[in-house]
């Protein structure tokens, strides 16, 4: 199964990326995901279910430790089981 995660971390700072946003970007870019799009107001990543779920776990833990006060995320199934993914 393939998953797509969309997330934002808060609080926002339009002048400089806060530490929690930088940590979130680091976690997602280091994960073994197929597609990553990091932007100032929202981020998306896509990949195998295990990789996405592992990245989400690390994202939540590390972003909160780095000062995030709110993390909004949505996870969608984008590919059914049996399409070559574990």
- pLDDT tens column, 44-77: 999 999 999 999 999 999 999 999 999 999 999 9
Q: What is the DSSP letter of 40?
A: S
Q: Which long-range contacts (CB under 8 A, 24 or more apart) does 26-35 make?
A: 26/62, 27/55, 27/58, 27/59, 27/62, 27/63, 28/55, 28/59, 31/55, 31/58
What six digits make up the tokens of 60? Answer: 């939540």
Query: Which residues, including other chains, have CB under 8 Å from residue 37's CB and lie 6 or more apart?
Result: 43, 44, 45
What is the model's pTM? 0.85
């Amino acid at each position: 199964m393939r998953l797509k995660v969309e997330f934002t971390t808060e609080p926002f700072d339009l002048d400089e990326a806060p530490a929690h946003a930088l940590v979130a970007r680091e976690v997602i870019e280091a994960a073994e995901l197929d597609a990553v799009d990091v932007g100032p107001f929202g981020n998306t990543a896509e990949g195998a279910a295990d990789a996405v779920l592992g990245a989400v776990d690390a994202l939540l833990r590390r972003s909160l430790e780095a000062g995030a006060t709110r993390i909004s995320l949505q996870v969608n199934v984008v590919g059914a089981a049996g399409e070559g993914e574990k």
